[in-house]
Amino acid sequence: MNPAQRSGRLGIGIVGAGRVGPILGAALAGAGHALVGVAAISEESRERADAILPGVPILEIPQLIERSELVILAVPQSELATLVQGLADTGSWQAGQLVMHTAPGLGVGVLTPALAQGAIPLAVHPAMQFTGSSVDIARLVGTWFAVTAPGPVLPIGQALVVEMGGEPVVVAENDREAYAEAIETATTFSSAIVDQATSLLSGIGVPAPGLVLGPLVRSAVENALHRARGDDTGAHFDSIGG
């Protein structure tokens, strides 16, 4: 089947019931796709899958791959290559099947073993911190997703992002590592600064330091983002005292 002529409704299987996979599955189900199953190993992941995707069967990975038109590989980046190769070694991938991973630092190269068996590779990463709860589904709306795919199937990845409520941004294969570094820098720095500032306020007896810092942090980040977009109007303050 020509990817551009693929039916709009897909049977989706999710490998990995961590914080990301079930949320993306729920968003795509909300867009009209069918969830055929989820592969979850630990008790915690099974409970999360049941809470976010009630009624969706828990399946073994080979069975899940066999039944799915779109396979979402939402596993740690360090485990992705081994998983893809292992499934290729058992001949699990199917011709025409969409295979999408969510690792920030990898493009579609890691999916080469699946591509060799006729699968269609997509790398789609949402630039958002996940809680693993249903609140994340609403937060996907307006979130930017890095999309990497071969040119002919790039529109499929972009369309899936739009269906989840997100905004697609194309990231070249060779730029995925730099993209991942930017994401890691932003999240780690933000968390560390807030934790340090909260600790300092707690140390001097300020009650509910998170509430005190909230408006300041949000406004500071928004000002920084305005400058990054090049639409700074000079309306921000350079310090708390203005």
83-120 pLDDT, tens digit per residue, is: 999 999 999 999 999 999 999 999 999 999 999 999 99
Q: Is the pLDDT of residue 162 over 60?
A: yes
**In this predicted structure, what is the pLDDT of residue 228?**
72
Q: Is the pLDDT of residue 213 over 90?
A: no
> 26 and 45 in contact (C-beta within 8 Å)?
no
Q: Is the pLDDT of residue 238 over 90?
A: no
Determine whether 65 is exposed, middle or buried from the number of CB atoms within 10 Å of its CB (0-12, 13-18, 19+): buried
Between these two residues, 4 and 95, which has the higher pLDDT value?
A: 95
Between these two residues, 107 and 4, which has the higher pLDDT value?
A: 107
**In this predicted structure, what is the pLDDT of residue 225?**
65
Q: Please name the CATH architecture into which domain 3-171 falls.
A: 3-Layer(aba) Sandwich (3.40)
**In this predicted structure, what is the pLDDT of residue 42?**
87
Across 31-55, average pLDDT: 93
Query: What does each C-alpha distance from 219 to 213, 215, 222 come to in angstroms?
Result: 10, 6, 5
Q: Is the pLDDT of residue 6 over 60?
A: no
Average pLDDT, the chain: 88
Q: Is the pLDDT of residue 1 over 50?
A: no
pLDDT in tens, 46-69: 999 999 999 999 999 999 999 999
Across 71-94, average pLDDT: 97
**In this predicted structure, what is the pLDDT of residue 5?**
41
Task: Report domain extents, the chain.
Answer: 3-171, 178-229
Helices (H), the chain: 21-30, 43-52, 61-67, 77-89, 112-115, 135-139, 154-163, 176-203, 209-229
CA distance 235 to 122: 41
pLDDT in tens, 109-154: 999 999 999 999 999 999 998 988 989 999 999 999 999 999 999 9
Q: Is 22 helix (H, G, I), strand (E, B) or coil?
A: helix
